[in-house]
Each structure stands twice: as C-alpha cells, then as structure tokens.
Amino acid sequence: MNEDTKILKLSSGEEVICNVVNNPEDSFISVVYPMKMQSYPKATRNGIEESLTLQRWIHFAEEDTFDIDKTNVITMTEASYGLSKFYEHCVKKAKHEDGDTLAPLPTDSELDKIEIDEAFDDYEPISKTIH
C-alpha cells in the first residue's frame, strides 16, 4: 500500500483532494483528510481570476480516514506542487482547530513562497531573438 496526495473526481461531481491509501486488491479507496475543492471567480486588479477554497469533505466526523467505493471515482490524478502545499496548510489548520497541533501553522510568508513557487513552475523565458 502507498499513500499520495491526489485529486479525485467523484461520480457526484465533487472534486476532492486527499491523501490516498490505495490497495489495488480492495474494492474501495481509503482517503485521509479529504477536502472538497471549490473554485470561484475573484476580481483582481488584473481582471477576473479563478480562486480556490478547500473545505472539509465530511464535517463533524470523528475519523480522518474514509472509504470510497472505486465505482464512485471517475478519475484520480496527482496534485500539483502548489496545490499539495496549500492542502497541507489547510490540513494543519484543521488539525490545529481540532486541538491536534501536530505541526505549527505555516506563516503568511511561507504561503507566499508556495504561491510564488507555483507561479514559476510553468515559467519559460521569452527569447530575445528577433527574426
């Protein structure tokens, strides 16, 4: 069994980011700390941009691990570096709010660095060659 941060698209239409413990022999996927992803438009100085929120997938549960029948999963993919770091921050914040302080919350400057790192992941310099 292995554990990775994945994005699941469920047959219900929900998109969930979580740590997945997958045993290929089981008829279900175990997800740890699942969080529902929701995007919404946000007005900025540069126009309308898409913003993302993560919220608990199942509220007020005592457990952190849930089993999802594999037939309810349409697709599963790796989460990007920036999204994984944002997810980790949200999980730490949720644990902190629950009184389970396993790790200190990241600072605003650490979150800004994650955002900058993500912005430059796909950066390709523009050639100064004139044809």
Q: pLDDT tens for residues 22-76?
A: 788 899 999 999 999 999 898 888 889 888 899 999 988 888 999 999 999 999 9
Average pLDDT, the chain: 82
Sole residue written with tokens 């993560």: 54
Per cent of the chain over pLDDT 70 is: 73
What's the pLDDT at 11? 97
> Does the CA dihedral 26-28-29-30 come out positive or negative?
negative
Domain boundaries, the chain: 2-119
**What's the CATH code, domain 2-119?**
2.30.30.100
What's the pLDDT at 31? 95
| DSSP code string of 34-92 | EEEEEEEEEEETTEEEEEEEEEESSTT-S-SEEEEEGGGEEEEEEPPHHHHHHHHHHHH
User: What is the mean pLDDT of the segment spanning 75-84?
Assistant: 93
pTM over 0.85: no
